[in-house]
Structure 1
Amino acid sequence: MMIIGRALARRGYGFLANREYFSNIVGRHSYIHLRVKSDEYPRSLTYPVDLLVAMDAETIFMHFEDVSNRGFIVCDNASLHKTLEEAPSIEDITRERIKKRCNELGLDCSVESILKYLAEKKKASLISLQYEKIIRELFDKYKIDPRQLSRYLSGIVFSAFAVLLALDEDSLRYALSLHFKERAQIVEQNMDLYRIVVREMGGYKGALMLAPPRINQKKTMFVTGNDIVAIAKIVAGVRYQSYYPITPAADESVLLERYSFIEDENIGPLLVLQTEDEIAAITSAIGASLTGARSSTSTSGPGFDLMVEGLSWAGMNEVPVVITYYQRGGPSTGQPTRGSQSDLFNAIFAGHGEFARVVLSSGDHLEAFYDTILAFNLAEEFQVPVIHLLDKFLANSTATVSLPRLDEIKISRGAIVREAKEYKRFSLASLVSPRAFLGTRGVVMWYTGDEHDEYGHIVEDPENRIAMYSKRIEKMSLIKDRVPSEQKIGIYGDRNPDYMFVGWGSVKNTVLEAIDVLRGRGIRAKYLNIKMLWPFPEREFVEAAENVPADRMIVVEHSYGANIAKLIEMNTGISIEKSIVKFTGRPLTLKEVIEGFELIESGKEKKVVCRYGA
């Protein structure tokens, strides 16, 4: 995926890909679902697909119904005679589902019968390659260690893709050279592998040729969601990042670790610490923040659960710390490598007692970049913990995106005390007390988990309790008043819509593309993208939803409960009953949103549950 994506980006094509994989170490079905466009950055994935490149028979069984009319299938000749029973890594329940579907279609559950069906019913083109022969030819030339040969199977996949799209050798070499830095021999081996596949595929070169690219590749980034957040943290001036390895958050910290070794005045100093657990991760980030370092930690649901006591401590002590929270399938360990948006209430309400916090969400890679920086600004301006709520879909999606506008970036660190004769860390003179860093010369302060007075000393007096407790919570009103509306909610589409979609996070671009499709059918729609989930922007929501009846509103979310609808009703009184939801752990697709809308518009459904994806 990375090689093909970089080669396409080099040419000036828009690229979007999602990586799906099981939570075991090796042996279960993994796949990449991608989309390429010549004139714009793709916003969503969809089915059916024009090309299916299969490394094994299991891929054919899992995805044969995803192939479009007149699509292409590339597979290993050795897989043709395999049966469903010879794909041992398919889960039993999935095997039975595939067997039932084959019986419905009159197929005998073999790769050969499925491919014949696709050729007859969908006019699909089959390209059968002898994978072993191709790898053997490469082995004979370079005398590759036989234990490494299986690694070159992926080279056949990207080579077949490149042949069908007629990618030039220069772009491929560029992508391979980036991927295999300082390993020139591996680059040459893969280039030779590509040439062998070109020869074997004969007249299929350019069979799926794209229109000429129209995107300026010099103003394009090729990044995952984890990457863009890590890059944004560097731009924001983060000096301390803690983490305990957990999917899908860990890749962000891994990239930051690489930058922590670079000596550059624009980057460092940056300390990235892998802690013994998530409790240590949040508490060490809090400690770093108290010394004045911009600090953060990254995790997902199970890790966040362990951080909650530390989160409450940060709330009591008005500590500006950022938690980057990548949602995955739950509850418990749930689906460790699949996505979800079901942790909404966990992020907003986790913790004992009441205290101010901010919860932000991001709908795409660029939003994630700007929102990451915003998270640190808000944390320090208002001295509250900020939770940046993302998900696996964004984290593991690789995309070409336009370069962020660094000239638009503003860093705000809030009120900082450099010296003081008599310092009150929790002064009641204002809702946000001037902050001094631990170690500031001549400044003394106290921190405790207990209720305290203005200096930080433990005090249980009821009048003091009322004053301190109110001060912390009333920051929420201050945040609502001071944060600009455009940082709270995004409004897209028609001003006078027939329907209004409502959502947050990674469903954004899928819904926006669906709105474009519906507009072509004469249906006007708009989308409210809720960016600040807490404190909830009720005024902005009510204004944006004005003149749209509640029965014309549709929530879109990766959850069972369409939880954003409950949050909206809690804060505005507006009850939204219609929803398009998905909780299989696979990403929502354009096709699903369109089909879901059609069912709701026809009156057949109020709640549509989507299920595309293997």
Structure 2
Amino acid sequence: MKEVGILLGGPQGSGIETSMWILSRVLVSKGYGVIADREYFSNITGRHSYIQMLASSVKPPRSLKYPVEILASMDAETVFTHFTDISEGGILIYDVNTSSRRIDEIPSMEDATRERVARILSDKNVEPSVESVVKYLERDKRILPLGLDFSALLKTLSEQYRIDARALSRFLSGIIVSSVAVVLGLSEEAVVQGFEQQFGERKHLVEQNTALYRLVRDALSNHYGAVRLDEPGFSMEKAMVVTGNDVVAIAKIVAGVRYQSYYPITPAADESFLLERYDNIVDETGEVVGSVVVVQTEDEIAAVNSAIGAALTGARASTTTSGPGFDLMVEGLSWAGMNEVPLVITYYQRGGPSTGQPTRGSQSDLFNAVFAGHGEFARVVLSSSDHLEAFYDTIEAFNIAEKYQVPVIHLLDKFLANTVAVMPVPDLGGVGIERGVLAKGGPGYKRFSLESLISPRAFIGARDTVMWYTGDEHDEHGHIAEDPEIRVKMYSKRIEKLNLIQRELPLERKLRLHGPGSPDYLVVGWGSVKGVVLDAIEYFSEKGLRMAYLDVKLLWPFPSEEFLKITSGLPDSRILAVEHSYGVNIAELVSMSTGRRIVKRVSKYTGRPIMLDELVKGLEEIVSGRRERVVLTYGA
């Protein structure tokens, strides 16, 4: 097979994420491309969590698909929730001890989910028990059920290594990893390497999980390699297996960030957690070249204000948050706009409004990032579409912030943050650090000089230098001033930086066209929809329909002239927009900025990622003329 879809499910806190990491690393070590999305409830333990993965022998995958070839379940809830997600002829791995469980006996399942699944089972005349579901799958969908006695496997392991019974639940992830590895025909050597990467110096865990792999392999000996991936047809000399949070954190170190503040919020916090793990930054020779001060503040107001303070001292500074936290930061954002502070806010979107869906994805905060704040001031909003772009865009965000002395909002989302992907090691050859106009200060220093749009920037604490910062309107020195002439000059200067940014940023930092230059249809989008849209237009290309994707990188100031030039040959009826939101807000931003009206829209706002299969069907509905708006809903 060229690619294999895998779904792993179990209770939150049971090791599903660990299973994902081990399997991802094992597959990448064998030369395969991997992408894996983690879906979980906003609690610590107990509620249903699952991983949807795609392993490819052809290329690093850009999107996920359904149905999957392998469903590996830790519990009965996974079987009930995802039995419709297995492809015909696929494999179900499950615990035989759950066979008698009925759907009404699962307290962790939401009532709405229980009712929905029970309705599906009733429509199919299937009794609401695991045993009945397994029989239905085997009979009607020709699924191969592989039942394992999880308790017996763990008991044998416990007897072999004298493991306390209370600790055995930690090895559920080992059963999942081992069973999927056996079905895929992955060697013991490769699996052990995955255990070693995951558990590091804890050699006893590597040894115990290896023993568990052997027990599972013996139990599934007749099905070793039942699902075979083709030999890899591509190669990456060096590769990284990372989440979006990881990539941004690494990029901040490369960018020279020396201060990061945050208040713990999903899905942003993991980025700061990674930065906190390292005391020092070393160069190629091992010499310490600096460190990142990471501060967990009491709230997001303190987070943004402390980052502003650090930036004023000359440190490259950032703060990271999600929608509810960004709402609290807005007064600080406005202050930074008034005082030309080079602040970077890394903004990971999640489902809203209010607390919304803390652990689910969204792109519905576009207008919040672009327009939040009182009054008018220059800010830049950048988007990233995949892990590699997120690396370079993070560095670019700091360069823009310091070069133009404006706050920059780097807009990402949960799908990028929590998705594991394989990517090439970034090439640092073309990566540069631009700090903009730096001044020594001294007597008579004018922090906000009107001689040019970009003010001479000296740092707080510069020798013989006095400077004033205030939230009020001010003159060139920073003194409060309400004179109308001063107001017009200072206000205009700050906002007109947007025109300068528009002129000086290269096209590839604003818009990127993927596909033919004269397409039949153009899909417009931004952020994490890129991968699945590119796979969709590849599908349509094979069917003879010329389709292209316009990825909007610079969301604000919106690149109106460039957008109009690229789309000049297409009528509005041939342009579509795709977004994780109800309104598909990128279409509204395009209309507001260019006058072009995008009516045809594909929307998803369940909090789950867009799957390739459902996007293809949605685009077919629109291209055929049957519908102008399609709402996608797939996902448990």
Answer yes or no: same fold by TM over 0.5: yes
1:555: which partner in 2? 577
Distance in 1, matches of 2:260 and 2:47, equals: 33
Q: Any idea what the Cα deviations from partners look like across 1:168-201, whole Å, max 9, x if unmatched?
A: 2222222211211110000000000000000001
Q: Quote the residue 2:154 is aligned against.
A: 135
5+ residue gaps, structure 2: 1-19
| 8 Å CA contact 1:10, 1:217 repeated in 2 | no
Paired residues for 1:347-426 under 5 Å: 347-426=369-448
Structure 2 residue 622 is the aligned partner of structure 1 residue 600: yes
Does the aligned pair in 2 maintain the 1:220–1:400 contact within 8 Å? yes
Q: In the alignment, what sits opposite 2:349?
A: 327
Is it true that 1:498 corresponds to 2:520 in the alignment? yes
Q: Separation in 2 of the partners of 1:364 and 1:475? A: 28
Distance 2:479 2:492 in 1: 18
1:289 corresponds in structure 2 to 311
**Which residue of the partner structure matches residue 222 of structure 2?**
203
Distance 2:568 2:599 in 1: 17
Whether the 8 Å CA contact 1:501–1:526 is kept in 2: the answer is yes
- Match in the other structure for 1:457: 479
Q: Distance in 2 between matches of 1:421 and 1:384?
A: 25
Tell me whether 1:541 sits opposite 2:563 in the alignment. yes
The separation in 2 between residues aligned to 1:498 and 1:122, in whole angstroms, is 38
Residue in structure 2 matched with residue 590 of structure 1 by the alignment:
612
Question: Match of 2:220, SS?
Answer: helix
Structure-to-structure mapping, 1:508-547, within 5 angstroms? 508-547=530-569
Alpha carbons of 1:205 and 1:600: their partners in 2 closer, same or farther (altered >3 Å)? Answer: same
Map of 1:230-309 to 2, 5 A cutoff?
230-261=249-280, 265=287, 268-309=290-331
Task: Confirm or deny: 8 A CA contact 1:260 1:272 kept in the other structure.
Answer: no
Residue among 74, 97, 111 paired with 1:92: 111
- Counterpart amino acid of residue 595 in structure 1: K
Structure 1 residue matching 2:179: 3-state secondary structure: helix
Work out the CA distance in 2 between the residues paired with 1:496 and 1:262.
47
Alpha-carbon distance, 1:421 to partner: 4.1
Residue correspondence of structure 1 range 310-325 to structure 2 within 5 A: 310-325=332-347
Indicate if the aligned counterparts of 1:11 and 1:217 stay in contact, CA closer than 8 A.
no
Q: 2:491, 2:28 → 1: CA distance?
A: 53
Aligned residues: 614
Any idea what the Cα deviations from partners look like across 1:92-139, whole Å, max 9, x if unmatched?
A: 111111111111111111222222222222211110000000011100
Aligned to 1:44: 63
CA RMSD of aligned residues (A): 1.1
Q: Find the aligned partners of 2:29 and 2:504 in 1 and give their Cα distance.
A: 42
Q: Which residue of 2 aligns with 1:466?
A: 488
Amino acid at match of 1:354: E
Identity %: 59
Contact 1:39-1:215 within 8 A present in 2 as well? yes
> CA offsets per residue over residues 399-457 of structure 1, 9 Å max, x none?
10011111110110001012444311000000001100111112221111111100001
Separation (CA, whole Å) in 2 of partners of 1:444 and 1:522: 67
The amino acid across from 2:517 in the alignment is R
Offset at residue 213 of structure 1 (A): 2.2
Asked if the contact 1:74–1:128 (Cα under 8 Å) also holds between the matched residues in 2, the reply is yes
> Helix, strand or coil: the match of 1:406?
coil
Q: CA deviation at 1:218?
A: 3.8
Deviations 1:225-269 (A, max 9, x none): 000000000000000000000000000000011123556656622
Q: How far, CA to CA, are the matches of 2:281 and 2:619 in structure 1?
A: 49
Moved >3 Å (runs of 4+): 214-218, 260-267
Counting only pairs closer than 5 Å after superposition, residues 116-131 of structure 1 correspond to structure 2 as 116-131=135-150
Partner of 1:169: 188
Structure 1: how far apart are the matches of 2:425 and 2:461? Answer: 39
Q: Distance in 2 between matches of 1:364 and 1:39?
A: 19
Equivalent residue number for residue 7 of structure 2: none
Answer yes or no: is 1:188 the counterpart of 2:199.
no
What is the Cα deviation at residue 215 of structure 1?
4.1
Matched position secondary structure for 1:259:
coil
**Structure 2: distance between partners of 1:544 and 1:116:** 55
Structure 1 distance, partners of 2:441, 2:526, is 43
76-85 vs 228-237, which moves further? 76-85
Q: Specify the SS of the correspondent of 2:64.
A: coil
Residue equivalent to 2:198: 179
> Greater shift after overlay, 420-429 or 326-335?
420-429
Match of 1:103 in 2: 122
Whole-angstrom distance in 1 between the partners of 2:441 and 2:350: 45
Q: Say if 2:280 and 2:291, in contact at 8 Å, map to a contact too.
A: no
2:5 aligned residue: none
**What is the SS of the residue equivalent to 2:290?**
coil
Do the aligned partners of 2:281 and 2:288 also contact (CA within 8 Å) in 1? Answer: no
Do structure 1's residue 3 and structure 2's residue 22 form an aligned pair? yes
8 Å CA contact 1:237–1:267 kept in 2: the answer is no
- Once residues 279 and 607 of structure 2 are traced to their aligned partners in structure 1, the CA distance between those partners, rounded to angstroms, is 33
Q: Does the aligned pair in 1 maintain the 2:280–2:289 contact within 8 Å?
A: no
Structure 1 segments unaligned to the other structure (5+ residues): none
Given that residues 364 and 508 in structure 1 are in contact (C-alpha distance below 8 angstroms), is that contact kept between their aligned partners in structure 2? yes
User: Alpha-carbon deviation of 1:359?
Assistant: 0.2
Is residue 280–residue 288 contact of structure 2 (8 Å, CA) maintained in 1? no
> Is the CA contact (8 Å cut-off) linking 2:34 and 2:55 kept in structure 1?
yes
* Matching of residues 26-65 of structure 1 within 5 Å: 26-65=45-84
SS in 1 for 2:429: helix
Kept after mapping to 2: 8 A contact 1:234/1:267: no
1:78 aligned residue (90, 97, 117): 97
Deviations 1:489-524 (A, max 9, x none): 110012221111010000001000001011111111
- Provide the rounded CA distance (Å) in 2 between the counterparts of 1:179 and 1:316: 47
Report if the CA contact (8 A) 1:9-1:217 is conserved.
no
Amino acid at match of 1:477: N
TM-score of the pair, normalised by structure 1: 0.99
Among candidates 233, 237, 245, match of residue 226 of structure 1: 245
Name the SS of the counterpart of 2:88 in structure 1.
strand
1:235·1:267 contact (CA, 8 Å) conserved in 2?
A: no
State the Cα deviation string for residues 61-100 of structure 1 (Å, max 9, x = none): 1111111111010000112222111222111111111111
Residue 342 of structure 1 aligns to a residue whose secondary structure is coil
Amino acid at match of 1:463: E
Offset at residue 147 of structure 1 (A): 1.5
For 2:233 and 2:279, the matched residues in 1 are separated by 36
Q: Distance in 1 between the 2:32 and 2:444 partners? A: 61
3-state SS of the aligned residue for 1:239?
Answer: strand
